[in-house]
Amino acid sequence: MKEEFTILLADRNPHVRDLMFRELRAEGYKILLARNGMEILKFDDGHTNIDLLIVDLAIPDIEQASFISWLKSRMLSLPLIVHSFSSDYEAYAQTLGSAVFIEKNENSIEQLKKVVSNLLKQRDGVVHILKQN
């Protein structure tokens, strides 16, 4: 089993980023932070091993349609959690198909931690199965 998973967390709100950073770090994850689209894209350089992406769709500094296309291309190899307001997600729900949506609210951090844990356990199991074959 992998010892430490790396999560890229992208949110425009510094208070949300700080809270999520603290909570997920306390669960033992390595957290990379992005506050805008350009910072997200810099981690997509092929040298950064990311196990999971958590993103707010209303991230600044990037054109929405291009961002959604990029997310879809990354979803082929990377689990995605959209942590956003439902009004931001509804326009792209069909397009993002396999992404897990968690509505942003004052209690969403506990649900987020459970979903992160489940997705990473599934991902780790798939990695082990592939290595055995």
Q: What is the mean pLDDT of residues 98-114?
A: 88
Fold of 6-132: Rossmann fold (3.40.50)
Q: What is the mean pLDDT of residues 88-110?
A: 78
pLDDT of residue 62: 76
pLDDT of residue 63: 73
pLDDT of residue 76: 63
- Sorted by sequence, the CB contacts under 8 Å of residue 132 that are 6+ apart come out as none
Q: Is residue 130 predicted with pLDDT exceeding 50?
A: no
User: Looking up tokens 């991902």, which residue turns up?
Assistant: 123
- pLDDT tens figures, 107-127: 899 999 999 999 998 876 544
- pLDDT tens figures, 45-77: 666 788 999 998 888 887 777 777 777 776 567
Going from N- to C-terminal start, the domains of the chain cover: 6-132
pTM here is 0.81
Cβ(8)–Cβ(117) under 8 Å? no
User: Which one of 70-79, 92-101, 102-111 scores highest in mean pLDDT?
Assistant: 102-111
Higher pLDDT, 14 or 63: 14
Tell me the three-class secondary structure of the chain, residue by residue. Answer: CCCCCEEEEECCCHHHHHHHHHHHHHCCCEEEEECCHHHHHHCCCCCCCCCEEEECCCCCCCCHHHHHHHHHHHCCCCCEEEEECHHHHHCCCCCCCCCEEEECCCCHHHHHHHHHHHHHHHHHHHHHHHHHC
pLDDT of residue 1: 47
d(CA 117, CA 81): 12
Q: What is the mean pLDDT of residues 66-92?
A: 74
d(CA 98, CA 123): 14
Q: What is the mean pLDDT of residues 28-40?
A: 91
CA-based angle 87:91:97, to the nearest 5? 115
